[in-house]
Amino acid sequence: MRGTLTIPALGAIGGFSLGGECHNLRHNLRAALSRAAGTSNGQMVGETMAGQAEVQVSHFLDEHGVGAFQIKLIFWSILIALIDGYDIGAIAFAAPHLIREWHVAPKDLALVLSASNIGVLFGSQIFGWVGDNYGRKTALIATNLLFGIFTFAAAYAIDLTQMSWLRFFAGLGIGGVIPNVVAINAESAPRNLRATLAIIAVGTVPMGGALAGFASAALVPAYGWQILFYIGGIVPVVVALAAIFGLPESIKYMTLHESQRSKMESLLTSIRPGYQVPPNARFVIEDEKQFPGSNPTYLFREGLALITPLTWLIFAFNLMGYFFLISWTPTLMTAAHATPTVAALSGAALQVGGTVGALTLCWWLQRHRFLAVAVLFVIAVPIVASIGFAGLTSTTALLVATFFAGALVLGIQSGINVVGAMIYPTSLRANGSGWQLGIGRLGAILGPFLGALFVGLPVERLYIWSALPFAAGAVVTFLVHALYQRRLRARPELQKAQ
């Protein structure tokens, strides 16, 4: 009786690879042994003790590499991420206009600026659970419909109370996007690109926020602040309806759910034309240890009892500083006598910098993970603290400072969105990521409120204070790095798969 042939990938976990130095050696070794074992098309197919054929999905993806399926998936993911970023940032760019039109003080905007984050606090966990149980595709379609409808309705708000409630309900949908975008890409990529493809997808969220800034500068003077919410409402609904027909499902989600078997077989055949799935084959994710369900208590098992809550704290610190920056920078720059266009462009520069930072740093984040994030936190402290001084110096200095602040802060966020999620297996990934983003949103809620309390300070001093969450984030992330390395040493099976 021939048993299942499994070749462990040097340097890969049921998460992501630490580097590609040994990739060619691994590939050649696997291919040679696959041929010796009598496999077809280079695919790992073995038999269980009961004689049932077994298809190892991770190896299938490794052998195929990046093809049309992954390109199609990354296209849809980037589109959804851009829309998500736009809707996150739209309220910040509408805020200066609401102050003038509704005759309210800047400090009165605290709840409006935080309302969507309160929604995200619940929505990320709700739709993380939906993604793990009903599919990443289902969750992403539902989230876009939800936040699209309530963002469109925000264009008709007539006071802060209405706007706050509409932003809260939009936030429920916004919160479910990143956990499922991370999961669907990481679970459909070869080992050495899992984190990279996921970071590329979520790294475009800040660019969506920048589009809101450009729309504000170009369209609001002619059409009013409502145009920001018309765009932010109509586009996600259209994309959600199109995604019903065009968005693929996560390969590994389908692997774990027998109800998806026919779709799984069709997908494998489309990825590798001519490939024949053995009759009654059992699909397995051979490089992950799954949990029997998506109960949140599993997030604390297998050496994660301290790591899981500390990752929540990392998210809270970074999101506290991040949402202070994107929520208050346009308003604070206007108060510092910058023109509305310059104020909008400074906010847009934060977001553009975020996308550039995420895409530039993705290889480093994949290789060094929490250690890389900790170093970025340290560098972010003086850069963020300089924004207020730059705003009083010149427009060029302001845009340069906000660009680099965005590259670091949003580069950190894109990194921890993925690095944090990848510590969990497929059966828990969207749920684990949802809890990280959800609990982290407590910091996002607190950031704009603290901004409202200190908005009377001189702008240069205010930004110095705003750098403190990043200093705290550096300390916690170094601790998580040390704990995670200890976890790998205590569990050699995980170390082998790293």
Instruction: State the helix-helix crossing angle for 110-134 and 160-174, rounded to 10 degrees.
Output: 30
Q: Write the CA distances from 343 to 113, 169, 458, integer angstroms.
A: 17, 28, 17
Judge whether 121 lies within some domain.
yes
**pLDDT score for 199:** 84
- The helix (run of H) or strand (run of E) holding residue 392 is helix 387-393
**pLDDT score for 311:** 94
Judge whether 269 lies within some domain.
no
Q: Write the CA distances from 352 to 67, 152, 313, 347, 355, integer angstroms.
A: 28, 24, 26, 9, 5
* Pair 274, 333: CB distance under 8 Å: no
**28-32: Cβ within 8 A, 24+ apart:** 30/59, 30/62, 30/63, 31/63
Q: Radius of gyration of the chain from Cα atoms?
A: 23
Nearest Cα to Cα of residue 107 among 465, 495, 457: 457
- The helix (run of H) or strand (run of E) holding residue 53 is strand 53-56
Helix (H, G, I), strand (E, B) or coil at 449: helix
Q: Whole-angstrom Cα distance, residue 483 to residue 423?
A: 12
**Number of other residues whose CB lies within 10 A of the CB of residue 7:** 17
Under-70 pLDDT residues of the chain: 1-52, 287, 293-294, 327, 330-338, 455-456, 493-498
Burial class (CB in 10 A: 0-12, 13-18, 19+), 57: buried
Judge whether 429 lies within some domain.
yes
Give pLDDT tens digits for 5-51: 333 333 333 333 334 434 443 444 444 334 333 344 444 454 444 45
Nearest Cα to Cα of residue 228 among 242, 217, 243: 217
Q: Whole-angstrom Cα distance, residue 380 to residue 173?
A: 29
Burial class (CB in 10 A: 0-12, 13-18, 19+), 383: buried
Domain of residue 161: give its range: 68-248+292-491
The tokens 């170093």 sit on which residue? 375
**Number of other residues whose CB lies within 10 A of the CB of residue 34:** 20
**pLDDT score for 462:** 79
Judge whether 284 lies within some domain.
no
Q: Whole-angstrom Cα distance, residue 207 to residue 408?
A: 14
Give pLDDT tens digits for 402-451: 899 988 988 898 888 888 888 887 788 888 888 898 888 888 778 777 77
Residue 75 gets the label, from left (phi > 0), alpha (psi -120 to 50) or beta, of alpha
Measured at the CA of 11, the angle between CA 357 and CA 318, to 5 degrees, comes to: 30
Judge whether 42 lies within some domain.
no
Strand partners, 284: 56
Nearest Cα to Cα of residue 131 among 143, 123, 139, 142: 139
Write out the two tokens for 375. 């170093």
Q: Whole-angstrom Cα distance, residue 295 to residue 43?
A: 33
Judge whether 390 lies within some domain.
yes
Query: Which stretches within 103-159 are classed as H helix?
Result: 110-134, 136-154
Judge whether 190 lies within some domain.
yes
Q: What is the dihedral of CA 123, 126, 128, 133, to 10 degrees?
A: -150
Number of domains the chain contains: 1
Q: Whole-angstrom Cα distance, residue 217 to residue 143?
A: 28
Q: Write the CA distances from 384 to 189, 362, 411, 468, integer angstroms.
A: 35, 21, 13, 9
Residue 363's CATH number: 1.20.1250.20
Helix (H, G, I), strand (E, B) or coil at 34: helix
Q: Whole-angstrom Cα distance, residue 383 to residue 372?
A: 17
Nearest Cα to Cα of residue 491 among 366, 304, 351: 304
Write out the two tokens for 79. 């589109």
Judge whether 62 lies within some domain.
no
First to last CA, the chain: 31
